[in-house]
Every structure is written in C-alpha cells, then in structure tokens.
A = this chain, B = another copy of it.
Amino acid sequence: MKTTTVKDVRKLNRSLILKEFYFNGPVTRLDVSRVTKLSPATVTNIVTDLLENGVLVEEGNVESSGGRPSVLLKVNPDLGYFIGVEIGESHIQTELFDIYFSKTTQYAINDLELDLSPEHLIDLVADSIGQVLRSANLKETDILGIGLGLPGIVDPESGISIFSPSWGWNNINLSELLRRKIAIPIYIDNGAKALSVAELLFGQGQGVDEFAVLLIGAGVGGAIVHNDLLLRGGSNSAGEIGHMTLSIDGPVCRCGSKGCFEAFIGANHIFEEFGRTKDEPQPRLENRELMKKIFSNYSNPDSKERKIIQNSIQYLGAGIANLINIENPERIILGGWLGILYGEADLDLIKNVVKKYALAQSYELVDICVSNLGAEAIPMGSAAMALIDFFENVNQEDLMVIGGNRLKQRN
C-alpha cells in the first residue's frame, strides 16, 4: 500500500494493531505498543475504536504487582467464520474455520470428472459451501469471506481464472459465477499462492521475511513471499516454478516444453517410472494412497522405489537451488501432498543436493523444511486470504456492517 496521507497511516496502524491482538492475544495495550513500536497513545486511540465496534473484547486483567493493572484484550471470537475451498485437478475440499482458524467442519468431493465446465465446477463449489453451512448450522451472513484456491494463473483483483491447465480454460470469471449464487465476499487465487498465505500466517513462514513455498502434487507450483507480501510479478504468474528448465534437452513435459522441473519430480514422473518397472497401467495423478505405498519403500536400501525417488531428488534439489540462487530466501517450505512425502522421505538428501547446486552464501542462509500444516493447507490458506482482507479493511465503514448484511464484495 502506498502511504502518502495520514489516513493511510491510520489504516496501516489499525491493521498492525489488530494482527497483534489476533496472533498474540489476549495481550494488553502496552504489550501491543511495545511490539508494534506505536506510542501507547495511538494504541489506546485505535483500541477504543475497535472496542466500540465490537472487534476487540476485554478478557480480564493482568495481576498487578503495584501500579494500575493492565487490561487484557483479544479479537472478539464471535465476529464470524471463514470458508476455504481448494479446487484441485480432481477434487474439491471445502473447510469452515472459526475466527481463530480452528477447523470447524469440512466437505469433500473426490474424483471430479475430467472435463468440467466452469459453471458445473462453481455449482459443485456452491453446493459444498451450502453443505458446510448446514452442518455447522450457520447462515451466509455469519461468514466473513470465502477463499478459493485453484490451479493455474489467477487474477485476484478481477476474480478471473486466466488460464487453467487442468481444464484448458482461459479468462473465466469464477468469482462472478460464484457471486451469483452466494452473497458472501469472495477471494480467489492460485493454489500455491493460497498455500503460501497459510504458511505466512499459521505455518513455517511466520516471522520469516523471505521465503518460498513449493507445492508439489499432481503438478508443481510455487510462491514467493517477501516482507509479508506475495510476489505476483507483472501478471500473477511469479513463482510458477513447475516449468523451469532443468535440462535443456530433457524429456518433453505435458506443457509442451522440454526438461521441466515438473517433468522430473511431479507425480506423473514417479508413477511412470514405477509403472515402467511393473508393467501396470499408469495410475491417476491424484492417487495419493499408491504414492504413499511407493514412498513407504524408500527406507529399503535396495528397493527400486528408493532409486526412483533418489533420482527425482537430484532434480528437486537442483530446482530448489535455482530458486535459492535467484531469490536468496531464508526458508524453503516443501508443501503439497507429494512435497511432504519427499521431505519426510529424505530431507537430508534434498539438502545435500541443494548444497551441490546453490551458491555457498545463499545455501548457508537458507533453511529447507517441510510444511507442518499437512497436505490440506490450501483450504486454510484460501480462507486466510479473507482474514488478511479483514485485517486490512476493518475500518469505520466496514465495521458498521459487521454482523449485519454485508453486501460489499471484493471482486
């Protein structure tokens, strides 16, 4: 945000203070003042505002040891709920979160048909949302926002799915399609970018200035976060690391190019290599159970599986090293169901390969780790996009409609 006026400063500081109460609450005004470096006067001023509007509530006092006891405050737990939806190549996972992001209920659709129209997809999403609302006994007005995370290139501003590799769409306004069915603010982004939001707020990205997330599953995606801000590039495709060239004369990728990162480390490659050894028909890309079975043989030193996975890790490490050389991040987070399997199988080997290919100074800084949010972090991250907007835009205007009939839509 550009801050040229005092009003911009107010908005920024309100958000800063609110985040502090959210993530570290209950805390006192003076605690917040110390952490945010804002003056106690300013904290009092903004807190008064937030209290009047019901965003914060008091929660008892801190025991005094001489002196006026300080009041503990926290974000009002009854403000509302968030819904996050992961749209995968073959499944839809819908989850409901309370204000503090405890998962309250969920609904899954698996084995989506292969050629799905945008309208049909949005019907399924709307149905899923209806399902979780019913099972939690909530109304639309109880939900502060719905986030969607999907494959491909997405423009969050307009709500348009610019390009979907899974279904071959171009320029479909999914946001608009869903808005016609549901009167809740909608947030939409690429799945890897949604995942990075989950990591930033609740996972391994907390407090890390520069990090990148790898989303490895059926396909390979990524996202880069710099000072709490997602890098989007000029047209929202920054971080799309899956089709980086690792071998100029390598095998042809499903994208048409040659020697892509994804072609070496994606589910497709592993299944193909595995299939080749067993002469079975190739399994569906999202077959996580089969993949787990393959990885369970990694510990067997003479297994074919171990050799296949170790070979892929050579490329995984080289790809991570390229990302490290270009971005110089402090942390790389391995996410996605297959990314987590890789990391859990042999993180040390991954690190050693990265070390081989990365600049020494950049390798020294970076910490490579596995996501601790599990394979299901995309719905959480999607919902968290709505939480970020809540932090940034809880201002006088919006506050008046909290709990009422929010018609304001982001897209």
Contact = CB atoms under 8 A, between A and B. Distances in A.
Interface of A: 3-6, 8-9, 12-13, 16, 36-38, 153, 162-163, 209-210, 222, 224, 226, 231-241, 243-249, 255, 257-258, 314-315, 318, 321-323, 325-330, 356-362, 364-366
Given A6-B6, A244-B326, A257-B356, 19 more contacts: A3-B9, A3-B12, A4-B9, A4-B16, A4-B36, A4-B37, A222-B326, A235-B361, A235-B362, A236-B328, A239-B326, A240-B359, A240-B362, A243-B325, A245-B246, A247-B248, A257-B357, A258-B357, A326-B326
- Decide if the interface of chain A is mainly helix, strand, loop or mixed: mixed
Contact of A241 (B162, B321, B326, B330): B326
Nearest to A13: B4
Contacts of A226: 226, 231
Contacts of A330: 234
B245 A322 contact: yes
Contact of A245 (B37, B209, B243, B321): B321
Contacts of A232: 328
Contact of A323 (B37, B236, B243, B326): B326
How many of these chains are in the complex? 2
Contacts of A5: 9
B248 A329 contact: no
16 contacts: A4-B9, A4-B36, A6-B6, A6-B9, A9-B9, A210-B234, A226-B231, A233-B362, A234-B330, A235-B328, A237-B328, A238-B327, A239-B326, A243-B358, A245-B318, A248-B314
Nearest to A39: B5
A234 B321 CA distance: 15
Contacts of A327: 231, 233, 238, 326
Contacts of A325: 237, 240-241, 243-244
A314 to B, nearest CB: 6
A325 B253 CA distance: 15
Contact of A359 (B13, B243, B328): B243
Most chain B beta-carbon neighbours within 10 Å: one of A5, A210, A326, A328: A326
A234 B329 contact: yes
Contacts of A222: 326
A303 B237 CA distance: 39
B38 A4 contact: yes
Most chain B beta-carbon neighbours within 10 Å: one of A163, A248, A361: A248
Most chain B beta-carbon neighbours within 10 Å: one of A5, A8, A234, A243: A234
